[in-house]
Structure 1
Amino acid sequence: MSDEHRLEEKFLSQEAERRISQKLDKAEQIEIDVQTDLLKIVQGQADGVSVAGQGLVIQKDIRVQEIRLQTDSIAINPLSALFGQIELNEPVNAIVRIILTEVDINRTLTSDFVHSRMQNFELNVDGEIVSFEPQQIQVFLPGDGKIECRGKVLLKEMGNTRPLAYTAVLRPRTHSQPAMLESFNCTDGKGISIELVTALMQKAKELMNMPFLKWEDMAFSIKDIEVEIGSLTLMVEAKVKQIPSSITELSP
């Protein structure tokens, strides 16, 4: 690549870094590489975009330890690209690697952003609607591929509402094994019926077998999860129609 082309890439990349950094509460490190040249920009094309960041904080309570993203070739708005703002003209495929620490996960779970989006979870148990209202959840990553969850919910069934506390240990689905529930214990409350446990397991199976999940203009699937002591690594494939506004605007 000529020095002239490299200067064009450098300008676009630095301007994109500046724009994104302004919208983050904190970024220990962020590097964006827009792989293109002036001719391709005018034609609305780029060979790809890569992003590498560490210690990214959004809305003070949501933190990502590390993220690495690489897209394939993309069609972009040429006028916006000249000012370092990437607007997609066509959907783009991306591979994303995300590392979250145990501290970061629990900090996010107590954030206003998560609380504002917590909704009652309903199940049909033999023709009766049973709902769960989340109250509290905490995640522990002890290693050996395990995730431990401790939480409290309000259980509403048969016209009654009662508190329920639980602990669960699971192994997430990976490229080589299905998801496994190692244990589930009710630590406070009267426990739950076998019928409710069966309905919960069936709902969990349906969710885990979904080919992809949707969030705003993104469809993504988790291809692999690695759990180590104190950290969780996600390998994600995504199809992006447009950069979601709520990545940088997470107000309820």
Structure 2
Amino acid sequence: MPEDSGIGEEALNKAAEIGLSSQLDEVENLDVNVKAEPFKLVQGEVESVQIAGEGLVMQQNLRVEVMEMQINRVAINPLKAALGKIELTKPTAGKAWVVLTEVDINRAFNSEYIRAQIQSQKININGELKTVAPQQVDFRLSGEGKVTLNAKILLVENGETHQVAFTAVPRINAHGTTVTLENVTYCEGEEISPELTKALIAQTSEILNLNNFDLEGMSLRIKQLEVDTGKLTLQAEADVEKIPFAEN
């Protein structure tokens, strides 16, 4: 391969890394690998784009342990490529892998954003509408295809504290946009409120909504999920209309 090809790829890689990093709150590591032969670049074609990131902090303070994306056969504007930027001339598809850890999901659950979401609702507790304030939410990935959620809840009106604990099976919703919890089984005693359980399940879906992981010009649809001890892996299809690049 000609020497200047490598320089061209390196410039494209760096521009993409800067462009993607600018959309994230925090980045521990991000590598972009653009495979593009010079004679194909001038014809408007990139062989592949690989994105590999670690420790990416996305929307709503959600940290992603690992995100990888593979995009093949990318049609581009060759004039833009000559300036060190990949501009797609038509949408393309790719594959993505997202790994979330138990620690990161817990951090999101106990964030001010999620607490405010739950506290903004009036929830029926034993026949009375109450304002609930989560004190601590403990989300566990057991590795047996189930999750366990244990929440300490304060009833604001009377200062009572209640514990809610249940196991559930994570499932992909019909549109492939998020993970929801089904087959709820309470760990001990009776449920104090079906509405409270429903609210906690809704916030799980809010945290695991793939819209949280979308980057500009890219959207994901979950195709498969795997629950291991301490981590959740999502395999997804990526619809790509644009690859964010740093402006020259």
Q: State if a TM-score over 0.5 links the two structures.
A: yes
Specify the alignment match of 1:46 in structure 2.
46
Structure 2: state its 5+ residue gaps. 122-130, 155-160, 173-180
How far did 1:49 drift?
0.7
CA distance change for structure 1 residues 30 and 219 in 2, over 3 Å: closer, same or farther?
closer
> Residues 60 and 113 of structure 2 are in contact (CA less than 8 Å); yes or no, is this contact kept in structure 1?
no
Higher RCO, 1 vs 2 (CA within 8 Å, ≥6 residues apart)? 2
Mapped to 1, the partners of 2:20 and 2:118 lie a distance apart of 28
Q: Pairwise mapping of residues 17-36 of structure 1 onto structure 2 (< 5 A)?
A: 17-36=17-36
CA distance change for structure 1 residues 242 and 55 in 2, over 3 Å: closer, same or farther?
same
Paired AA for residue 9 in structure 1: E
Specify the alignment match of 1:236 in structure 2.
236
What SS does structure 2 have at the residue aligned with 1:167?
strand
Specify the alignment match of 1:149 in structure 2.
149
CA distance change for structure 1 residues 96 and 186 in 2, over 3 Å: closer, same or farther?
same
Q: Pairwise mapping of residues 177-216 of structure 1 onto structure 2 (< 5 A)?
A: 181=183, 183-184=185-186, 191=192
TM-score (norm 2): 0.63
> Residues 167 and 187 of structure 1 are in contact (CA less than 8 Å); yes or no, is this contact kept in structure 2?
no
Mapped to 1, the partners of 2:43 and 2:153 lie a distance apart of 54
Mapped to 2, the partners of 1:82 and 1:103 lie a distance apart of 43
Deviation track 1:102-132 (CA, whole Å, cap 9, x = no partner) reads: 11112223446656877989xxxxxxxxxx9
How far did 1:165 drift?
6.3
Specify the alignment match of 2:66 in structure 1.
66
How far did 1:134 drift?
9.2
> Residues 8 and 37 of structure 1 are in contact (CA less than 8 Å); yes or no, is this contact kept in structure 2?
no
CA distance change for structure 1 residues 78 and 110 in 2, over 3 Å: closer, same or farther?
farther
How far did 1:51 drift?
0.7
Structure 1: state its 5+ residue gaps. 122-131, 155-162, 208-212, 246-252
> Residues 16 and 243 of structure 2 are in contact (CA less than 8 Å); yes or no, is this contact kept in structure 1?
no
CA distance change for structure 1 residues 8 and 107 in 2, over 3 Å: closer, same or farther?
same
What SS does structure 2 have at the residue aligned with 1:34?
strand
CA distance change for structure 1 residues 169 and 223 in 2, over 3 Å: closer, same or farther?
same
Mapped to 1, the partners of 2:32 and 2:44 lie a distance apart of 18
> Residues 25 and 60 of structure 1 are in contact (CA less than 8 Å); yes or no, is this contact kept in structure 2?
no
Deviation track 1:8-41 (CA, whole Å, cap 9, x = no partner) reads: 2122112322333355443322110112134433
Specify the alignment match of 1:15 in structure 2.
15
How far did 1:77 drift?
3.9
How far did 1:220 drift?
3.4
What RMSD in Å do the two structures reach over aligned CA positions? 4.6
> Residues 12 and 83 of structure 1 are in contact (CA less than 8 Å); yes or no, is this contact kept in structure 2?
no
Mapped to 2, the partners of 1:55 and 1:241 lie a distance apart of 24
Specify the alignment match of 1:100 in structure 2.
100
Specify the alignment match of 2:223 in structure 1.
223
CA distance change for structure 1 residues 146 and 119 in 2, over 3 Å: closer, same or farther?
same
CA distance change for structure 1 residues 55 and 192 in 2, over 3 Å: closer, same or farther?
closer
Identity over aligned pairs, percent? 34
How far did 1:148 drift?
1.5
Specify the alignment match of 2:170 in structure 1.
172
> Residues 76 and 88 of structure 1 are in contact (CA less than 8 Å); yes or no, is this contact kept in structure 2?
yes
How far did 1:226 drift?
1.9
